[in-house]
Amino acid sequence: MRLKPLLAIVAATALSLPLAAHAGKFSAEAERSYTASCVKSSTDNGLSAEAAKQHCECGKKVLEKDFSDAQLKELNGQNPKPTLVEQAQTAVAMACSKKS
């Protein structure tokens, strides 16, 4: 039957829709703020300026891929939810930390 392959394609597409809808984008101001804060924090924790820049660029890409516009706005706000901050830190650490 041709219906099973079609159903498999439809199911896979339907399951991927929430992931595609989740992606957000930093505003130019929020991106500058995130990058400056990230680079400072990273260099304060022992990374070279170049390594910090690479880590923060990776982190920006991960956050834009995994978090919505509203979540990115909250993360850059005054009092983001601790659970959201932890979720963001974990996502960035898993994707951007160098493997030993």
Alpha helices in 1-100, H assignment, sequence order: 3-22, 28-44, 49-66, 69-75, 82-96
pLDDT digits (tens, 9 = 90+) for 3-58: 343 333 333 333 333 444 468 998 899 899 989 999 999 999 999 999 999 999 99
pLDDT of amino acid 35 = 93
> What type of residue sits at position 66?
D
pLDDT, average across residues 92-96: 93
Residue 79 token pair: 């009092």
Asked if 38 and 55 count as a contact pair (C-beta separation under 8 A), the reply is yes
**What residue has token string 């992931």?**
19
Q: What is the rounded CA–CA span in Å between residue 3 and residue 25?
A: 38
pLDDT digits (tens, 9 = 90+) for 51-90: 999 999 999 999 999 999 999 999 988 899 999 999 999 9
Based on its alpha-carbon atoms, the radius of gyration of the chain, rounded to whole angstroms, reads 17
> What type of residue sits at position 14?
A
Parse the chain into domains and list their residue ranges. 48-100
